[in-house]
Structure 1
Amino acid sequence: MAKISLTLIQTFYQVARHGSFSGAARELNLSYQSAANHVRRLEQILNGRLIETEQGAKRIALTPRGRALYNLLHPELDIMLERLTKLIENQRSALRVGMPQAIFFYLFPKVLTRFREEFPEMEFAVYERDTVLAELVKNGSLDVCISERYFGDPVVPQRLLGSYRLSLVYPRAWGAAPAPAEVPAWARGRAFITYEPGQTLRNLAVDFLGRDGAQVQPAISTSGSSSVKRCVEEGLGFSIIPSWCMQGEEAAIASVRLTNLPEVRVYFGSAGFLQKHPSVQRLFADCQAELVGPVLEPPRGGDLAHPAL
């Protein structure tokens, strides 16, 4: 049988306690759909219904099996979670955060400055990667991740911060800029500099340049946008990087904003049991204050818990 996570148990417990998915969602800072999905997943693992709902009804009813599970959890689960929260609050002196190198290098200093005003004694440990962030949060190696990937994993709940555009960057000595629609044809035969295999932005760029069956073979692969941009500055080739990596007019590099490519979404995720921890809530608020508007386009529809897939 698949392992039962604390997140699924906690969601079921709150749904049963409040008598509705919406009440549990408010309590746990989840979307209604996420709360419902957690319960359905728990039912699949246990191979039996725990909750009965009627079409259009706002409240739920526990099945006999659901009532038995709730009685088993109450009130011990509340006590356990309270003790766990106090232990974390008393012992946590570091916040471990994973994010792509470019986000930390170009965007995060202002967020970190604001965050440290409230938590000056806390160590801020950063893991600069794009891949494996969800797995690192799940195994306890990270507390928070900021990612351009939506994991769809209930153990690592995510909120949409905003989105940004990509830009073509190339040595200014190469001449006039191509129109966005002409970039794939313009790129053929030119050295392409990009990210390590598996990274989100590499995949987007390769798909874009490979339209109409073109073969895309990177000349240089690096770990992040700062390294990619440095190679372009040296005249080694062209790349596709976040538009915010360009700091105004630059002497060695020209750029073209690729409005014909989809926006790249940025998500804030954390371990489920840390969502209400003061340092995690503060970091999310600081990311909103420093990034959404000045750098990232705000989410459309106003619901940060629901990424539009």
Structure 2
Amino acid sequence: MAMNLHLLRIFYTVAREGSFSRAAEALHISQPAVSKGVRELEHQLDVALIERAQRPGGRRAGVALTQIGEVLFEHARGLFALEKAAIDDIHARVGLRKGALVVGASTTIAGYWLAPYLALFADAWPDIAIEVRAGNTELVSRWLVDCEVDVALVEGSVADERLARDHWQDDALVMIGPPDWEQPSADASWLDILNRERWVMREPGSGTREATQRMMAALQIAPASLIEAGSNEAIARSVSCGAGLAIVPRVVAADLIELGRITLVEPPGIAPLSRPLFRLTHRDRPLSPAARRFVAFLDGSATQS
């Protein structure tokens, strides 16, 4: 059975937008045409794709997919992402534009590690337009799966089999406290002290959050309370104001340590902390010429010819 890709695109847009009306706007067709397209696809496949439950009072709830609808959405998501990738690659190869590169990066990488590579790349290839999109590891990975970025650099682990993960470099981490935090004596019960403290951490989905939780588990730290912050900079600033302790990248904390606004917390017998940074690419998407050149810069094997 051949699937009607036009109807599939309508269904995918409804699921992505979470609304028939927004899907109609995105596709530049009428809302009745969108509803009809979804019904026709369900008829062709002989399955229900969208739940049609009503809220009290007859108001329709937001779009919810059936179990089969969720499966089909994931297939459609990959299909249309690859369609976009193919169009982008063809445009680059036939010279319809001088070239473009979209890099997805976790927030720490975007803020502290990426700039030198971008500068070198821009000097070597000045006609290639560069865009950087920053987010946490989970969000950046999703962008790469959807082919919204060409290559990604992240801090956390990624389990999606559609993505290839290569070690890029290591990022040193430090444990920090407020400026007036006093180091306990060597014979003090460090574990009890650290467990009594409040800790400041990144949000779920962040590579820093994942690394922090992994290290705290290894050190048997189970904090009494937590504060979540949306960036490593926000964590460091919160710690400087007395919010609690934290584990952050050394590059984030360096200036505040030098200024005396935060202090290093150095429990005895703990080896230096670090976490790996990874370069991600899409297994089923060939790298564009611009992306191949940029990956060479990241790996230190670039030439400017």
TM-score w.r.t. the length of structure 2 is 0.57
Give the alignment of 1:125-144 within 5 angstroms. Answer: 125-144=132-151
Q: Confirm or deny that 1:252 pairs with 2:258.
A: no
Give yes or no for the alignment of 1:88 onto 2:72.
no
Counterpart position of 2:115:
109
- Structure possessing the higher relative contact order (Cα contacts under 8 Å, 6 or more residues apart): 1
Shift of 1:161: 0.8
TM-aligned CA deviation for residue 268 of structure 1: 0.7
Question: Distance between the aligned counterparts of 2:224 and 2:91, measured in 1?
Answer: 51
Cα distance, 1:82 vs. partner? 9.9
Aligned counterpart, 1:196: 203
User: Could you say which residue in structure 2 is the equivalent of 1:233?
Assistant: 240
Aligned to 1:78: none
Aligned-residue CA RMSD (Å) = 3.5
Distance 1:275 1:163, change over 3 A: farther
Assess if the C-alpha contact under 8 Å between 2:102 and 2:131 holds in 1.
yes
Distance 1:117 1:188, change over 3 A: same
Deviations 1:114-133 (A, max 9, x none): 12112334131313222133
Q: Deviations over 1:200-247 (max 9, x none)?
A: 322332344356876435542122211211212222222101223232
Q: 1:113 to 1:127 in 2, by over 3 A?
A: same
Structure 2: gaps of 5 or more residues = 1-84
Aligned length: 209
CA contact (8 A) 1:184 1:209 kept: no
Measured in 1, the distance between the counterparts of 2:185 and 2:298 equals: 34
| 8 Å contact from structure 1 (residues 101, 223) kept in 2 | no
Written as runs of structure 1 = structure 2, the 5 A alignment for 1:36-51 is none
Answer with 1 or 2: which has the greater Rg: 2
TM-score (ref. length: structure 1): 0.56
**CA apart distance, 1:199:** 2.1
* Secondary structure in 2 matching 1:131: helix
Corresponding position of 2:54: none
**CA spacing shift, 1:157–1:239, aligned 2, 3 Å:** same
Distance 2:143 2:113 in 1: 22
2:228 to 221, 230, 233: 221
The amino acid that maps onto 1:265 is P
Find the aligned partners of 2:103 and 2:223 in 1 and give their Cα distance: 33
Q: Is the 8 A contact 1:193 1:232 kept in 2?
A: yes
Distance 1:143 1:91, change over 3 A: farther
CA 1:143–1:82: 2 relative to 1, 3 Å: closer
Q: For residues 11-61 of structure 1, give each alpha carbon's deviation from its aligned partner in whole angstroms, at most 9, with x where no partner exists.
A: xxxxxxxxxxxxxxxxxxxxxxxxxxxxxxxxxxxxxxxxxxxxxxxxxxx
Indicate conservation of the 8 Å contact 1:243/1:257, yes or no: no
Counterparts in 2 of 1:224-303, with a 5 A limit?
224-247=231-254, 249-256=258-265, 260=271, 263-272=274-283, 276-289=287-300
